[in-house]
């Protein structure tokens, strides 16, 4: 058994059986080993940003680590942006990056690059296997690292000769170390804080994934009289009918200052301290009111459900939730006439099946569409967590691989989708049940807004840099070129028809919504 085979067997023995791949020559023995193990599902992405984004989406929906297979330095570079998004989503991802044979690295060959350097710029854990006999152990350590602390980016760099030389026996990854908990004193202090007037409990991470944990947080809030809050961006959250109502932060720092104005004590459980997405001249980086007591009870790397359980224990019997603690089911009527974003949202809400996974990277188009969906059938909601656009389509790929029995709905801006449009081909290749809606406004609309904030009056260079016109993109052609059936709609009625068809069919569809 060579090192590559020992790694594939180690991954399979450790429960990693999906590999989003874009291989090159230095990974050839690993490819051969994958070929000998059909129980590893290898999914080709025609660009590496598709692999890392898919691994992110896969982890968010399955809580399981997938592997990516990446070519040395530049191939990893192409995966970098969506590894950044995955890192901010706290997704566990295991990258296997090829490398030149150890003895070849002393020479200057075209693909020689700083494999460690680029990995360390984004990964929580990086290791280069020193020899073939270590590869199985290193692989198991990498799996463990990816699963640790609620999910990490782990990168194993595999010099070619460690893949082809004789390896050791496969190793099964050890479970990750137990997650940390706040001390009993910290729990008591948090409960006391929540009982003060003007207290809020902000939850994120695992507190938003499943109903039992979210319910616990909601009941703690009711018991203590605190306001239950959630951040604007969450890696995964339940939405629609039956989901728990929470006060959500907004994107803009000014709005968040207003939302948080009355909060005197903010207890964070799995949530990061609210922070402006960017700094702006004369605006604060932190939106909370001056003097707010911020209690960072448990960060995202800690045991969030157990922290909430410990708080519940400290409180005593918790009240049940009132019926209005949850969103009702209220489906809007199917709209007609001219197409608007709100009508698109209404149609989606009317037709989207229970338990759809929604991936939203529609940026400025997203909010009007999301509004009517608040009372749609219950669904999961995933957004781009690191602000690096180009995550939407790949995340949808990963979510669909993780949840083959659920419909995936991918809402994307046209600018965002252009970064990783190759994911459309993977949707077609794998027959993934994804309906992608491209909101085609032919511009980076959010940048026009940001420029206005700066006080500039746009002229020629801004138009040249912000607007995707002259020519406009033909998204129907782009989708069909990748093998995905597509249609452009001009009216609400046409959208109703196209979306109904997409919901009834299995497999990838794309609908272009001009806006």
> Residues 189, 314: contact at Cβ < 8 Å?
no
To its own copies, the closest distance from the beta carbon of 54 in angstroms equals 14
To its own copies, the closest distance from the beta carbon of 64 in angstroms equals 19
Nearest to 407 by CA among 428, 431, 435: 435
> Binding-site residue total for its own copies (CB under 8 A)?
108
Stretch that binds its own copies, among 131-139, 235-243, 361-369, 386-394 (CB under 8 A): 386-394
Applying CB under 8 A, which of residues 442, 474, 493, 501 lies at the interface with its own copies?
A: 474
Structure token digits, residue 404: 């083959």
Cα 300 to Cα 484: distance, rounded to the nearest angstrom? 38
Question: Using the rule CB under 8 A, is 306 a contact of its own copies?
Answer: no
To its own copies, the closest distance from the beta carbon of 481 in angstroms equals 4
Stretch that binds its own copies, among 125-133, 138-146, 201-209, 445-453 (CB under 8 A): 445-453
Nearer residue to its own copies within complex by CB, 58 or 425 = 425
Nearest to 453 by CA among 287, 256, 281: 281
Applying CB under 8 A, which of residues 179, 315, 321, 451 lies at the interface with its own copies?
A: 451
Q: Which of residues 49-78 bind its own copies (CB under 8 A)?
A: 49, 69, 71, 73-75, 77-78
Cβ-proximal residues to 266 (8 Å cutoff; 6+ apart), any chain: 199, 200, 202, 260, 274, 288, 292, 293, 294, 295
Q: Give the torsion through C-alpha atoms of 507, 375, 336, 445, to 10 deg.
A: -80
Question: Using the rule CB under 8 A, is 158 a contact of its own copies?
Answer: no
First to last CA, the chain: 57
Stretch that binds its own copies, among 173-181, 381-389, 400-408, 432-440 (CB under 8 A): 381-389
Question: What residue spans of 89-134 are helical by DSSP H?
Answer: 115-120
Stretch that binds its own copies, among 10-18, 255-263, 273-281, 330-338 (CB under 8 A): 273-281
To its own copies, the closest distance from the beta carbon of 79 in angstroms equals 8
DSSP state of 340: -
Structure token digits, residue 388: 């690096």
Question: Using the rule CB under 8 A, is 514 a contact of its own copies?
Answer: no
To its own copies, the closest distance from the beta carbon of 135 in angstroms equals 16
Q: Compose the 98-137 pattern: x for residues touching its own copies by CB under 8 A, - for all others.
A: --xx-xx--xxxxx-xx--xx-xxx---------------
Cα 210 to Cα 490: distance, rounded to the nearest angstrom? 38
To its own copies, the closest distance from the beta carbon of 323 in angstroms equals 35
Question: What residue spans of 266-340 are helical by DSSP H?
Answer: 304-315
Cα 90 to Cα 208: distance, rounded to the nearest angstrom? 13
Nearer residue to its own copies within complex by CB, 195 or 283 = 283
Question: Using the rule CB under 8 A, is 40 a contact of its own copies?
Answer: yes
Placement of tokens 């980076």 in the chain: 444
Cα 164 to Cα 29: distance, rounded to the nearest angstrom? 6
Per this entry, what is the length of the chain?
Answer: 515
Applying CB under 8 A, which of residues 475, 489, 492, 503 lies at the interface with its own copies?
A: 475
Applying CB under 8 A, which of residues 34, 202, 216, 267 lies at the interface with its own copies?
A: 34
Strand order in the sheet with 485-488: 237-239, 379-383, 357-361, 408-413, 434-440, 509-514, 485-488
Stretch that binds its own copies, among 28-36, 148-156, 179-187, 303-311 (CB under 8 A): 28-36
Question: What residue spans of 266-357 are helical by DSSP H?
Answer: 304-315, 341-351
Q: Compose the 172-211 pattern: x for residues touching its own copies by CB under 8 A, - for all others.
A: ----------------------------------------
Nearer residue to its own copies within complex by CB, 328 or 483 = 483
The DSSP string of 404-452 is TTS-EEEEEEHHHHGGGTTHHHHHHHHT--EEEEEEE-SB-HHHHHHHH
Applying CB under 8 A, which of residues 338, 483, 490, 505 lies at the interface with its own copies?
A: 483
Applying CB under 8 A, which of residues 230, 246, 388, 489 lies at the interface with its own copies?
A: 388
Question: Using the rule CB under 8 A, is 151 a contact of its own copies?
Answer: no
Nearer residue to its own copies within complex by CB, 118 or 216 = 118
Nearer residue to its own copies within complex by CB, 211 or 450 = 450
Stretch that binds its own copies, among 30-38, 125-133, 290-298, 343-351 (CB under 8 A): 30-38
Cα 467 to Cα 442: distance, rounded to the nearest angstrom? 6
Question: Using the rule CB under 8 A, is 12 a contact of its own copies?
Answer: no
Question: Using the rule CB under 8 A, is 429 a contact of its own copies?
Answer: yes
């Amino acid at each position: 058994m060579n090192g590559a085979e020992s790694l594939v067997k180690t991954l399979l023995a450790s429960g990693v059986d999906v590999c989003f791949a874009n291989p090159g020559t230095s990974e050839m023995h690993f490819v051969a080993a994958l070929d000998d193990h059909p129980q590893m599902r290898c999914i080709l992405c025609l660009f590496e940003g598709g692999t890392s984004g898919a691994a992110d989406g896969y982890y968010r929906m399955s809580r399981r680590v997938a592997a990516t297979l990446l070519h040395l330095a530049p191939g990893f570079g192409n995966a970098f942006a969506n590894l950044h998004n995955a890192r901010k989503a706290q997704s566990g991802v295991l990258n296997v990056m090829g490398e030149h044979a150890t003895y070849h690295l002393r020479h200057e060959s075209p693909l020689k690059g700083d494999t460690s350097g680029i990995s360390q710029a984004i990964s929580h854990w990086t290791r280069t296997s020193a020899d073939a006999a270590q590869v199985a152990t290193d692989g198991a350590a990498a799996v463990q690292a990816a699963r640790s602390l609620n999910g990490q980016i782990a990168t194993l760099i595999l010099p070619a000769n460690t893949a082809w030389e004789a390896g050791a026996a496969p190793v099964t990854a050890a479970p990750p170390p137990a997650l940390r908990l706040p001390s009993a004193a910290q729990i008591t202090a948090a409960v006391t804080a929540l009982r003060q007037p003007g207290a809020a409990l902000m939850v994120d991470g695992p507190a938003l994934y499943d109903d039992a944990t979210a319910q616990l947080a909601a009941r703690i809030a009711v018991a203590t009289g605190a306001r239950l809050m959630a951040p604007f961006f969450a890696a995964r959250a339940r939405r629609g009918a039956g989901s728990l109502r929470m006060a959500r932060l907004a994107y803009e720092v000014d709005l968040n200052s207003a939302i948080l104005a009355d909060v005197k004590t903010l207890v964070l459980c799995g949530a990061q301290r609210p922070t402006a997405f960017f700094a702006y001249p004369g605006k604060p980086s932190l939106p909370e009111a001056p003097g707010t007591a911020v209690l960072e009870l448990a960060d995202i790397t800690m045991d969030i459900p157990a922290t909430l359980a410990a708080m519940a224990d400290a409180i005593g019997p918790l009240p049940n939730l009132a019926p209005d603690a949850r969103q009702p089911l209220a489906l809007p009527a199917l709209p007609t006439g001219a197409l608007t974003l709100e009508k698109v949202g209404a149609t989606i809400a009317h037709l989207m099946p229970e338990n759809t996974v929604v991936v939203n990277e529609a940026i400025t188009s997203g909010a009007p569409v999301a509004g009517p969906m608040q009372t749609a059938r219950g669904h999961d909601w995933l957004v781009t967590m690191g602000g690096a656009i180009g995550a939407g389509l790949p995340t949808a790929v990963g979510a669909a691989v993780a949840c083959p029995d659920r419909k995936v709905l991918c809402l994307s801006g046209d600018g965002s989708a252009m970064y990783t449009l190759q994911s459309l081909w993977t949707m077609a290749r794998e027959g993934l049940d994804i309906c992608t809606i491209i909101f085609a406004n032919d511009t980076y609309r959010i940048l026009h807004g940001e420029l206005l904030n700066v006080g500039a009056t746009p002229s020629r260079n801004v138009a040249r840099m912000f607007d995707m016109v002259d020519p406009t993109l033909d998204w129907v052609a782009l989708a069909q070129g990748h093998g995905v059936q597509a249609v452009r709609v001009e009216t609400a009625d046409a959208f109703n028809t196209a979306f109904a068809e997409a919901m009834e069919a299995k497999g990838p569809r794309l609908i272009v919504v001009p806006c």
